[in-house]
Structure formats: structure tokens, C-alpha cells
Amino acid sequence: MHEVYLSLGANLGDRETAIRGAIDELGKLQSTDVAAVSGFYETSAVGFVSEHRFLNCVVRLHTSLPPPVLLEVCRRIEREFGRERDGGGGQMRDRTLDIDIILYGELTLQTPGLVIPHPEATRRLFVLVPLAELEKGLVIGRRTVEKWIELVRKEHPEQEIRRYAGG
């Protein structure tokens, strides 16, 4: 079994229901256990402008699913919750559900469809803050998650994040 961290987020529709539903679906996967779920955080959009705030969390899984299979399962769950992806143009936009593989054990992987560790993880408070909640001192790219948080807060003060008080 591999220890895997996923980032889940949504900023359209019933955000909390979509994220909780996705966590339930992840828990039903063969050879996979949901080991921990961070608290939920409301965050600003990163990389594009939106009037809709995101709800985000991080999930720790124990799974024996290989990364490409896990990615396909995540994409299927996104579709089940109404996610529509563009044709791969890479332009970010509002979404009903987004699931990203952040870390997959100690694996480093770079394929056209999947990069692990996630290449943007260390630039996004909506990943780093809930990740630090689950695993203090976790190292990504020779820095602890806490150090990455400090750097992002300094370099990107426009990124807003606060603990979600709803639901």
C-alpha cells in the first residue's frame, strides 16, 4: 500500500456535498482506504479570476492502485459530480469538483498526463495548509510544507485561505 495525498476542491454548486461525496467514492475503491481528511478551507481562486470561492481539503489515502489508474478514477469521480473539462487547453476555470494527486509515496513521475509530486502544489496555500494539518513536517522538494507555506504567504499575499465554518 502506498500513502497518497489528494487535493479536493470545488467552487460551483453545493461544494461541500460534492467534496464529501467524492471522499465517500474514494473510500469505496478496491485496495484503498481513506486514512485521514483535513478540515475544509474556503479559498480564493488561484491562477484565474472568479467570483466564486473554493472549498478545499486534502485526503490521505492508502492504496495499491497504480498512479494512472488512480488518476482515471479521480477523473471519473469528477465527471460524476458534474465536472466538465475542456479539450486540454489548460485554461483554469470554475468547477464543480477537482481532484489532484499531490503525492504518491516517494514516487517521482513525469508523463504527459500526470506529474508527481504535483508541480503546482508548493505554490498553492489551498494544498499546503490542509496538507500541513494532516502531516506536520512533510517534505516536498527538500522543504517542509510549513516552509512552503511561509514562502507562499510572503510571495503571494493575494492567496486567501480560512477555515470553513459551514456544514
Q: 98-113, pLDDT tens digit by residue?
A: 999 999 999 999 998 8
Residue 97 has pLDDT above 90, yes or no: yes
Residue 139 pLDDT: 94
d(CA 82, CA 70): 19
Residue 144's domain spans which residues? Answer: 2-163
Place of cell 493575494: 158
Q: How buried is 151 (Cβ within 10 angstroms: 0-12 exposed, 13-18 middle, 19+ buried)?
A: middle
**pLDDT at position 9, please?**
94
For the annotated catalytic residues, the residue numbers are 83, 95, 98, 100
pLDDT digits (tens, 9 = 90+) for 12-65: 999 999 999 999 999 999 999 999 999 999 998 887 777 888 899 999 999 999
pLDDT band at 89 (very low <50, low <70, confident <90, very high): low
Domain containing residue 15: CATH number: 3.30.70.560
Answer whether residue 87 shows pLDDT above 70. Answer: no
Q: How many domains does the chain have?
A: 1
Helix axes 125-134, 145-155, angle to 10 degrees: 150
- pLDDT > 90 fraction of the chain, expressed in percent and rounded: 77
* pLDDT recorded at residue 90: 57
